[in-house]
Copies of this chain bind each other. A is one copy, B any other.
Amino acid sequence: MSAPRHDPDQHRGAARVAMVGAGQLARMTHQAAVDLDVELRVLATSPDEPAVLAGAPHRFGGPGDWEALSAFVAGADVVTFDHELVPPSLLRRLEELCVPVRPAPDALVFAQDKLHARRALGEAGYPVPAFAPVEGRDDVLGFAAGHGWPVVLKARRGGYDGRGVTVLAAAAEVPGDLGTDGDGGPAWLVEAHLDLAAELAVLVARRPSGDAVAYPVVQTTQVAGICRHLVSPPELPPATLRRAEELALEVVETIGATGVCAVELFVTSAGAVLVNEVALRPHNSGHATIEANLTSQFHQHLRAVLDWPLGPTDLVAPAAAMVNLITPDASVHPAANLPAALAVPGARVHLYAKASRPGRKVGHVSALGPSATEALALASEAAAILLAR
C-alpha cells in the first residue's frame, strides 16, 4: 500500500497516520504530510477520489466496513478522519485495537449527532439557539407555537453543505413523515430561525495533552446552506471576535476533541454570539490557512493528532479571503479555465480533481490583501473565471 522504503534503517522517525476518507481534506492533508515526511495513508471508496489522485497511499473500503477499517489502521501511530461517517460502534471497536483514535469517539459524536451536540453544549452552559428534538410533526408545531415561525428543521445526522436543513415558514410546510432514527431516537431537531448579523467560524487545534490554539476568526457567507466564501478578519467589533474565539476554545475543551476542529458560530442582529455546529477535522472554513496563516490547518491537524507542538496561527497578511468553486452543472470545467484564472494576480487556486456536478465543491481560490474586501474581490474574480462555461 505505502510506497516502499528500501533502506528503513537509514530513514527513521517518519510517523504513520491513517486517515479514514479520501476527499479534498485528505488530498490537502497528503500535501502537508509530504512536507513533514509523515506516512499518511487514506481509506478510499473509489480510485477517483481526490486524495488517491494526489498520490496518497491508500486502501479501498467503506467507513462502515469493519474488516476494511481494521486492516487499514494496522501499524499506524494514530487514526484520524476526513469525514464523520464512521459509525460510533466501529469507532469504539477501533479504539480497542490499540491505535489512538483522534479525535476520540466521544468527541466525534458532537459532529455526528447534531441533537447530542446541542443538548450537551446547552447543558454545559454554552449559548446555543433554542431547539427541540423532533419525533413527529407535533413536535415542530409545538416548538413553533412557543418560538414563532419560521423555524429551522435539521436532520439529526448526516446533513452537510445545506443538505438536511430546511426553513419552514408555516405549519403547512411541516413534512408529515418525520420519523425516528435507527436507534429509535428523534431523527430531527427544530430550531428557532434567528435574525443573523453574521456567521463566523473559528478553527481550533488541540493536542491530546490539552494544549490548544485558535486561528483568527473568519466570517463565512452561506448561500442555500453552503459556504460560498469567507474573509478574515471580519469587519465586526473586536469584542465579538474575542467572544467567538473564547467560545471556540472552550467548546473544543469541553468536547475533548483532538486534531483540528471548526466551531461555527452565529452572531445575531442583537450582537449575541451563539455556538452553532462543530466539525472535528480540517474544515472548509480553514482552507485559506494554506497561504494566509503561519501554519496551515492540514499541517496543524497532523501535528495535533500526533501530539506534536502546535504551530502559530497568525495571518501573514492584513486580510485573506477564500471562495469555494461550486459547479452549477457538468458543463463547467474549472481545470480548462485555469490558465485564464491564473491571470488574476495573486489568486491561489486549488482544484480537487473532481468531476463537475450540480452544487459540487470542486476546488477553492484563496487570496491575500490589504483588506478583506480587496482579498475577496481578487479571489472572486478568479473563481468566476474558473466557473465560466
Contact A37 B6 (CB under 8 A): no
Q: Is the CB of B46 within 8 A of A12?
A: no
Stretch of A119-127, A197-205, A244-252, A333-341 with 4 or more beta carbons under 8 angstroms from chain B: A333-341
Interface pair A338/B13, CB less than 8 Å apart: yes
Q: Smallest CB-CB separation from A5: which chain B residue?
A: B48
Per the bound structure, the CA–CA distance linking A353 and B317 in Å amounts to: 31
Q: Does A145 contact B (CB under 8 A)?
A: no
Chain B hits for A339, CB < 8 A: 306, 308-309
A174 to chain B, nearest CB (A): 38
Is A52's CB under 8 angstroms from B3's CB? yes
Task: Please name the residue on chain B nearest to A31 by beta carbon.
Answer: B31
Q: Does any Cβ of B come within 8 Å of A55's Cβ?
A: yes
Q: Which residues of chain B come closer than 8 Å to A56, judged between CB atoms? A: 55
Interface stretch (choices A150-158, A274-282, A342-350)? A342-350
Query: Is A53's beta carbon under 8 Å from chain B?
Result: yes
In the complex the two chains form, is B308's CB within 8 Å of A342's CB?
A: yes
* A6 and B48 contacting across the interface, CB-CB below 8 Å: yes
Nearest-neighbour CB distance to chain B for A360, whole angstroms, equals 10
Q: Is A210 part of the binding interface, using a Cβ–Cβ cutoff of 8 Å? A: no
Q: Are A3 and B53 in contact (CB under 8 A)?
A: yes
| A6 contacts B55, C-beta separation under 8 Å | no
Closest residue on chain B to residue A317 by CB atoms: B316
Residue of B nearest to A356 (CB): B10
A311-B342, A316-B317 known; A335+B12 contact, CB < 8 A: yes
Interface centre among A3, A34, A52, A317 (most CB of B within 10 A): A34
Decide if A37 touches B309 in the complex (CB within 8 Å). no
Given A48-B4, A312-B345, are A337 and B13 neighbors across the interface (CB < 8 Å)? Answer: yes
Question: A residues 132-185 with Cβ under 8 Å of B?
Answer: none
List A residues 42-69 near B (Cβ within 8 Å). Answer: 46-48, 52-57
For A346, list chain B residues within 8 Å (CB).
Answer: 294, 311-312
Q: Which residue of A53, A343, A351 has the most chain B CB atoms within 10 A of its CB atom?
A: A53
Q: For the complex, is A368 an interface residue (Cβ under 8 Å from B)?
A: yes
Q: With an 8 A cutoff between CB atoms, is A35 at the interface?
A: yes
Minimum CB distance partner of A8 in chain B: B355
Contact of A14 among B312, B316, B353 (CB under 8 A): B353
- Contact among B12, B31, B36, B53 for A5, CB-based, below 8 A: B53
Residue of B nearest to A28 (CB): B34
Contact (Cβ within 8 A) B37 A336: no
Across the interface, which residues of B come within 8 angstroms of A330, CB to CB? 10
Min distance, Cβ A296 to any Cβ of chain B, angstroms: 10
A322 to B335 Cα, complex, angstroms: 32
